[in-house]
Amino acid sequence: MRSTTLVEHVKTVFPIELLRVLLGLIGLGSAFMAGSTMAAVRKGLLKAGRHYAWMVRAVVCLAALAFRHAPDAVMIGAWALSAAAFAGGWWQASHPKPPEDLAHEIVPRDE
């Protein structure tokens, strides 16, 4: 009977490529949040520490994709989509929708 190491067992249960895709998705979400917190920091609504925390999360997740792997479609796609998500988060936070005025629907006036 062949003895398997823990690493071989983990590779059979969770394919490494699946874990890399999940890391890419976490990095993508972290990049979006980093962009939105950057806009909030520039407006003075948040402290810069929260922005730096999201940036560190994004960079660590995206750097982990390159660990022991040559650049491939997963890594390049995750980095490119994360850059777009960062810009999208910044744009969305810096251009908020004005709140709707629902007063006339909640309390109808007889005119």
Q: What is the 3-state secondary structure (H, E, C) of the chain?
A: CCCCCHHHHHHHHCCHHHHHHHHHHHHHHHHHHHHHHHHHHHHCCCCHHHHHHHHHHHHHHHHHCCCCCCCCHHHHHHHHHHHHHHHHHHHHHHCCCCCCCCHHHHCCCCC
Question: What is the predicted pLDDT for the residue at 36?
Answer: 96
> How does pLDDT run across 11-57, given as a tens digit for each residue?
667 788 888 899 999 999 999 999 999 999 999 999 999 999 999 99
> How much is the mean pLDDT over the chain?
88
Model confidence, pTM: 0.78
Question: What is the predicted pLDDT for the residue at 68?
Answer: 82
